[in-house]
Each structure stands twice: as C-alpha cells, then as structure tokens.
Amino acid sequence: MIINIAEAKAHLSHIIERAYNGEKITIAKNNLPLVDLIPHQQTTKRQLGIAKGLIHYHDDIFTTDQEEIEAFYDSKLEP
C-alpha cells in the first residue's frame, strides 16, 4: 500500500497498526516512494563464546623460529 505524506499524517495511528500487523506500507511524496514502514525488531544481546570448541589450531601457532624472525627483519618493504 502506498500512502502520500499528507494522508499518512492524518491517519498515522491506523497506518502504524496496519504495518505492525504485517502489511507493507510505503510512504510517498507526490506518488514517489520515500520510505517503507516495518515493525520494530527487538535487538538481542550478543552471545559470547558461541564458537567455543569449533575453532582448532596447533599449540605452536604463536611460536616463531629464528629463521622466520630473520626473514621478517631482512625483507624489504619496498619493491
């Protein structure tokens, strides 16, 4: 349903009720669609640790041998 701004102002509570009940409402200006009304969705709290036990890595992932250290410091940053 497309409603112009003037009509939306006059019947705002009725339009909100219809959008809340799932009807797609588009507010237009001079019959040019501007915005869609959708029901508010409550945000949920972020749940920490949902990937616990799903990510596996080797214990030595954070160790660096002397050869890697020298390669890092001896590399050129410019081509």
Residue pLDDT, tens place only, 5-18: 999 999 999 999 99
pTM: 0.52
For 78, phi then psi, to 5°, come to: -105, 150
Range in 24-28, 31-35, 55-59 the model is least confident about: 55-59
Rounded CA separation 31/1 (Å): 12
| Cβ-contact 35, 26 below 8 angstroms | yes
Q: What is the pLDDT of residues 38-72, one digit of tens each?
A: 998 888 888 888 888 898 888 888 888 899 888 88
36: which strand partners?
A: 26
